[in-house]
Amino acid sequence: MVFSSLIFLYLFLPILLAAYFISKHAGYRIWVLIIFSYVFYAWGEPLWVILLLLASLIGYVFALGIERTRGTWASKGLYVASIVVNIGLLGFFKYAGFLVDNLNLLLPVDIPVPEVKLPIGISFFTFELICYLTDVYKGTISAPRSPKKVLFYVSFFPHLVAGPIIRYTDIEKQIERPQVTLAGFSAGISRFMVGLGKKVLLANLLGETAAQLLTPSSASSSVLGIWFGIILFALQIYFDFSGYSDMAIGLGKMFGFNLRENFNYPYVSKSAGEFWRRWNMSLGGFFRDYVYIPLGGNQRFYLRNLFVVWFLTGFWHGASWNFIIWGLYFGMLIYIERQFLGKWLARIPAFFSHIYAVIVILVGWVWFYFTDLSQGIQALLTMFGLNHREFANLELEFYIRDNLLLVLAAILLSTPLVARGLEKLAASSSKLGRGLVVAGSQVFNVAVLILATILLVGSSYNPFLYYRF
C-alpha cells in the first residue's frame, strides 16, 4: 500500500484515524498504531509480516541482554551478534543474488542464483534496529522492558517502508504520551497534502515523460534529449522521495509524533558535499554516526573511511554495480572538494558553483537511473556529444513544448522561494496576510486532494521509486 493510493486515502487512513481517536488512553492508541502498521505492511507483503515481527522481537531481546550484561564481554558479544543478524537479514534478502551472480562470473563455478523476493522497506527497518542496538550498547538509551515500544518504533507505518530513518531517541518520550493537538493535526494534514501534491501532481507526470526520453539506444535520442530526460528524472526522484517524506512527517503529526526532516532543498546546493547534507539527511546521518565516525572519521584513515561510506551508500540503494558506481562517484567528488575544489567554489560567484553542482548531480543521476551499465554509458556518451547523435530534434521540441510549464513549476518548487514567501506572509503583523495564508492552505489541501484523486483514478502510472530499497 502506498500513501498516494485511493485505498490508503479513502479507506485505510479514515478507519485508522477513527480507531485512534476513539481510543482515549495513550497506551491503547499505541497498540492501534502497531496493529494498523502491520495491516499496512501486510497489504502488499503478507508473508514478510512475520519477518518484520521476528526482526523486532529479536532486536528487543538482544537489547535487553546487552543492557543486563553491560560492561562485560558478553555485552559486546551480544551486540556483535545482533548486528550480524541484522546485516545478515539484509544481505540475504537484498544481496544474495547479486553476490552469487558475480561469483559465477569471477570463478569457474555455476552456483544456482537464489530467487529471493525483496521485503519492502527492509533496508530501512534493519538500519533502525542497528541504530537502536548500537545506542543501547553505547548507553545512550536504556532498553525498554516492554516489547510494545520496540514493536512500535520499528513498525510505525509512516516511516516503515521508505523512511525517514528515525532513531529510538527521536520518539522515546513521544511513545509515552503522543502530543496530539488540533494545531498539530491541522499542520499534519497540510504537510501530508504537500507531499501528496509532490508525488501525484509532479513526480508521476515528470516520470512518464522522463521514461520516454531516456532511451539512449533509440535512433531518435539526441544530446539535449538525454539531458532533458535526466533533468526530468532528477525532479521526479526529488518530488517522489521528498513527497513521501512529507507525507510521512505529516502523518506523524496527525498522530502526535514529530519525525525528523529528510530533505532541505538539495538542488540549491553549490557543491556535491552540500547536496548530500540536504538530500536524504536521515540516511546521511546514519552513515556519519554509525559508520564514518566509528571507523575514525577525519582523524584516522580518512580516505578509507570516506570511500567505505560512499561504497556502502551506493550499495545500500541497490544490489547492482550502477549503484556502487553512483556512490563512489559522489565519494570521489566530495574528496576532491575537500582537498581543493571546495575552496575554489567558495570564492567564485554563487551562480557558477550552482551550475557546477547541478551538472555533477545530473551526471550522477545517470548512474542511478540506468541499472544496465551499457545503457548508462551510452547515455553519458550521448550527453557529451560522443555518440554520434544529433544535438536536438523535432521529437524533443514536442516534449519540451508539452512539458515546459510543468518543468518550470517543478524547478521553482524545488527551491525555498515559495515556502519562504508564505512564511513571511504568515509571520507578518497583518491580520489580512495571516488570514490569506490560513484560507489559502485550506483551499490548497482540498484542491490537491481533488486533483490527485482525479489523476489516480485516470492513470495506472503511480510508481514509488524508493520501494525497491
Catalytically active residues are 317
- Angle between helices 73-90 and 122-138 in degrees, nearest 10: 170
- Give the C-alpha separation, 165 to 97, whole Å: 25
C-alpha cell belonging to residue 183: 494545531
